[in-house]
Amino acid sequence: MDSIVPYRPLLTLDPDVRFLTAIAINVALIVSLGSVPAFAQESMIASNAVAPASYDAAADRSSPAADQVCDIGDPRSPWTPGDGAVASAELRRFSDTIRVGYDDGFVLASLRERNLETDAFPFRLKVNGWGQLRHTASDVALPNTDLNQFQMKRARLILSGNAFLPDLNYFTQFDGRSSSGDNMRLLDFYLNYDIGHAQFGFEKGTFGFRAGKYKMPFTMARWLSGKEFEFSDRSVASTYFDVNRSLAIGLFGQSKHTAIPIEWETAIFNGFVTGGAETGSSGNLDDNFAYSIRLQGYPIGDWGSSQLADFESHDRLAMRVGCAFAGTTISRNGSTEFNTPRVVDSGQTFASILPVAVDSYHVAQFAVDTSFKWRGWSTTMEYYFRNLSDFEGAALPSLLDHGFWFQVGYFVVPEKLQVLTRWSRVDGDSGTLGASDQSTDEVGAGLAWYLRGNRAKLVTDVTRLDGAPISSSALDVNPGDRGWLFRTQMQFSF
């Protein structure tokens, strides 16, 4: 007869393993000085160090406030039924779905996804990760070269949570990608303080402060996480007008009780696309701050949790709209910013075609967007404007570039198989310094197969390029590309 391995739930582990267990689980969950962590308490119950009857609820059982944390044993805690034996059974049922210990390596395991209701805890650590493995093949006209490679486009590790206060949040994201070799970089690091809730008792998220390195509030395409894309990546137009990340301070908020639910964010930051730039005296940033603001609303319907695809199969139309502005002055003494902007349709840097006498100029960018979901259909359109003006050192006219991306998706098999199409265009006179307009187009189509929503999916798309005005390793697009781009991408996230 096969030997039977004794069943040993978490709460009946050996004392030494149980000690490690308590450390591993409770390091981010200790809610106040001197409190006994939940699992340690139950371990004490299991070992008869504390009688289950000590958890009986003889006092008032009124519910705690939404942001109040109650220890096990507090009569208001959901883990404290009136009967001590029932309390112990409730905890055992919860703990039986969790395993923590050493199994040829330290293991933390959960039988199912749970709502742990820890948002109100002052100390909390959450770990997430996601990655995108992509095969890219291109067929472009000379002198540009073709590509046929497997690439790790994004490999992200995220640490987030609360520290000291439920309203003081942190977010740290590390990024590794094959285009950077084996290097791992700090992509985001910022702190949020919910001033409105902490100081004035407003609803959470009504008014807050943010500081650190993060995405600047401007385009909707950049606001989206890469996990939410329907195509393999962003469009050419959204990349051309992007301001990306930077070191910044900003304010954010939302209102759910106005006629239209709205979200807003504003920031002051080092400059456009300066997130990875070296700062200080050894860096090459100019001394001009940039500034931006974004406003977003939901005038029709309940948008749902997914940002683009209609996983919810809306019976009624849902609509999201947004608008944004970003501006800065770019000076030649800051080569990081001065060499960043590109022009239509060659993709050359703007600095390379400017007269050498130009010392600085002003940039003003605008964006508007709208998105819809309805019965498996999802559509998104975002339009951009960029005005270059006030050239110091040479007589040049104001230059205007504009562009858009328009994308449609439809679930032919609800929540599983989606067909996609996209058109992106950039038009303007920056490439000729105002002499004439030039334009470039990107047209694509694709399929997305969702194994578990955006947590696990396979996307394949084909794109036709007609002169790319960008240089982007993320998109696998080089300046002046004319031809075909084929991408197949697997994504997994947790």
User: What are 289's two structure tokens?
Assistant: 């701050």
- Tell me the percentage of the chain whose pLDDT exceeds 90: 72
pLDDT of residue 118: 87
* pLDDT tens string 136-160: 999 999 999 999 999 999 999 999 9
pLDDT band for position 281 (50/70/90)?
Answer: confident
Average pLDDT over residues 65-79: 56
3-state secondary structure of 93: helix
pLDDT of residue 33: 39
pLDDT of residue 88: 66
Sketch out the chain's domains with CATH numbers.
74-493 (2.40.160.10)
Burial per residue of 372-385, b for 16 or more beta-carbon CB atoms within 10 angstroms, e otherwise: bbbebbbbbbbbbb
pLDDT of residue 44: 41
Look over the chain and give the mean of its residue pLDDT values, rounded to a whole number.
87
* pLDDT tens string 404-442: 999 999 999 999 999 999 999 999 999 999 999 999 999
Bridge partner list, 419 = 410, 447
pLDDT of residue 225: 96
Average pLDDT over residues 467-472: 95
pTM: 0.81
- Tell me the percentage of the chain whose pLDDT exceeds 70: 81
| Higher per-residue pLDDT: 465 or 180 | 465
pLDDT band for position 46 (50/70/90)?
Answer: very low
- Positions of E strands within 164-304: 165-176, 184-193, 207-215, 245-255, 262-269, 290-300
* pLDDT tens string 427-436: 999 999 999 9
pLDDT band for position 181 (50/70/90)?
Answer: confident
Lowest mean pLDDT among 31-45, 169-183, 334-348: 31-45
Contacts of 101 (CB under 8 A, 6+ apart): 10, 13, 17, 20, 21, 107
pLDDT of residue 110: 86
Q: pLDDT at residue 328 above 90? A: yes
- Cβ–Cβ < 8 Å for 238, 221: yes
Closest of 280, 382, 284, 274 to residue 328, by C-alpha: 274
Say how far apart CA 1 and CA 8 lie, in whole Å. 21
